[in-house]
Amino acid sequence: MTGVYSKTWYEDNSIFHIADERLSIGKKKHFDFCVIGGGLSGLSCAYHLAKLGANVALCEHSSIGSGASGRNGGFCSSGWAAGLDQITRLVGPLVSKELELIGADGFKWMRKRAFSSKYTTAQPISGIISLGLRGQRSELSERLDEVELKKFVDGPRYKWGKIDNEAFHFHPLNFLKTFLQEVKSHGVKVLENTGAVQLNGSEIYFSNGNRISFDRMIWATGGYSIEKNSTLKKYLLPIQTFICVTSPMPEILETYIPTRMALGDDRRAGNYFRRLPDGRLLWGMGVSALNQQSVESIKQMGWKNIKAHFPSMIAEMKQNNIKFDYAWSGLMAYASHFMPYVGKLNERESILSGFGGHGMNTAPIAGKRMALFLNGDKNMLDPFLEIPRRNVFGLIGRLGAEFEYRRLRAIDYISEALG
């Protein structure tokens, strides 16, 4: 079984909800807006459209949160997948500043919700530590040195750390399912397990026999639907990242990762990890644009990866027969410049996709801005319209992305070796 569809720890520890599929087979119903995709961007767009008084349908191929929005590492901070310097080169300093503020607004929106009384099952915990694998520069006085860092993580390769106390980690699937209840409470018709969709003018036909018509449609799908959509696959690539979750081992974690904050290193395709509430370790790693990995190969990758950073911990895990109880991957939607596409495709269709790598704050704020734009606030999407739409050229693009990730890994390896 490939990891992109394997069961996650989140699924086995999620709140229950009943899928809403009450449209009669063959019966057509009309909506002002139809949002395709039940991830964070789609839910946010539908929610804000409904709050503005629109009649909205949200259609999800599988179940809410079954894509990258509900399968990720559960990290949320300000910013974008592309760094500030990269964004500035792409769109200029003024638009870059606007996008920086938008990303910060998205983070504030997420943090306020995640820590509210309605979202207790999202289990949010403040604090993310950025880890450096190369020697610390003396001018970065606000960073933790190796001695200070050992209070939080005891791995021989980590040279320094920097704490973001506002950033947080959480249970993304439970967040989505709780948000789903808010979305429904505003009258959004949520259709799950629709199967493949076929667009015919202003009508959508689903493989399960349902059909609806609409005035405007928003493509808010991610990496799991790109290959089936001729428009999206022109601009976006489905990129994998991988996650393993161990058996419970609280005593071992207390020795090597004695913090409840999440951690991630400073490489482009680096590691990110955190302790889970039941004493397990969630370990994220790697990026690939090519073949999907099996569950077993992801577990092997995880074991090798942890051993490289925590050799003493992996020895104790082996001694105590600790294994990986879960291993999965997620398909994220990436553009070649790591920035999303948010705007009109034509007079009837809009795109709201490409949040791979940093979507927990950027997807919901982009969804909100899309809703405001569709409601008549024509300036809401101006910063996003400056992001160029680039063709990824299918398989050629995948090969190019894979080469680039491997090149970056090589640079990281050399930089670390040189200190």
Residue 239's closest CA among 364, 363, 329, 362?
329
pLDDT at 7: 96
- What is the β-pairing status of strands 211-219 and 349-353? parallel
**Cα–Cα distance measured from residue 382 to residue 135, given in angstroms and rounded to the nearest whole number:** 40
Helix (H) and strand (E) counts in the chain: 13, 16
> Cβ contacts of residue 217 below 8 Å, gap of 6+?
33, 34, 35, 36, 199, 204, 348, 349, 350
> Cβ contacts of residue 314 below 8 Å, gap of 6+?
303, 306, 307
Residue 325's closest CA among 315, 334, 333, 317?
317
**Cα–Cα distance measured from residue 310 to residue 313, given in angstroms and rounded to the nearest whole number:** 5
pTM as predicted = 0.95
Q: Which CATH number fits domain 143-168+237-334+393-419: 3.10.20, 1.20.120, 3.90.1310, 3.30.9?
A: 3.30.9
**Cα–Cα distance measured from residue 325 to residue 194, given in angstroms and rounded to the nearest whole number:** 30
Residue 280's closest CA among 69, 4, 13?
13
Residue 71's closest CA among 6, 163, 149, 140?
6
C-beta of residue 168 within 8 angstroms of C-beta of residue 128: yes
Concatenating the DSSP letter of every residue in 211-226 gives: EEEEEEEEE---TTTG
User: What is the dihedral angle through the alpha carbons of 403, 408, 412, 415, rounded to the nearest 10 degrees?
Assistant: 100
The angle formed by the CA atoms of residues 158, 160 and 165, to the nearest 5 degrees, is 115
30-40 burial: b if 16+ Cβ within 10 Å, else e: ebebbbbbbbb
> Cβ contacts of residue 53 below 8 Å, gap of 6+?
none
Residue 209's closest CA among 191, 226, 221?
191
CATH 3.50.50.60 correct for 8-124+170-235+336-388 = yes
**Cα–Cα distance measured from residue 45 to residue 121, given in angstroms and rounded to the nearest whole number:** 23
Q: Where are the domains of the chain?
A: 8-124+170-235+336-388, 143-168+237-334+393-419
> Cβ contacts of residue 234 below 8 Å, gap of 6+?
391, 392
pLDDT at 134: 81
SS3 241: strand
pLDDT at 140: 56
Residue 330 backbone dihedrals phi, psi, to 5 degrees: -135, 145
Per-residue pLDDT of the chain (419 residues), as tens digits, is 788 889 999 999 999 876 665 555 456 699 999 999 999 999 999 999 999 999 999 999 999 999 999 999 999 999 999 999 999 999 999 999 999 999 999 999 999 999 999 999 999 999 999 999 887 654 555 789 999 999 999 999 999 999 999 999 999 999 999 999 999 999 999 999 988 888 889 999 988 778 899 999 999 998 777 777 778 889 999 999 999 999 999 999 999 999 999 999 988 778 999 999 999 999 999 888 887 889 999 999 999 999 999 999 999 999 999 999 999 998 999 999 999 999 999 999 999 999 999 999 999 999 999 999 999 999 999 999 999 999 998 878 888 888 878 887 777 777 666 65
pLDDT at 405: 80
pLDDT at 170: 99
Residue 401 backbone dihedrals phi, psi, to 5 degrees: -65, -40
SS3 152: coil
Sign for the CA dihedral angle at 251, 256, 258, 260 comes to: negative
> Cβ contacts of residue 98 below 8 Å, gap of 6+?
382, 383
C-beta of residue 3 within 8 angstroms of C-beta of residue 291: no
pLDDT at 403: 83
Count Cα neighbours of 148 within 13 Å in the Cβ-side half-sphere: 12
pLDDT at 30: 95
pLDDT at 369: 99
Concatenating the DSSP letter of every residue in 20-73 gives: ---SPTT-EEEEEEEEE--SHHHHHHHHHHHHTT--EEEE-SSSTT-SGGGTS-
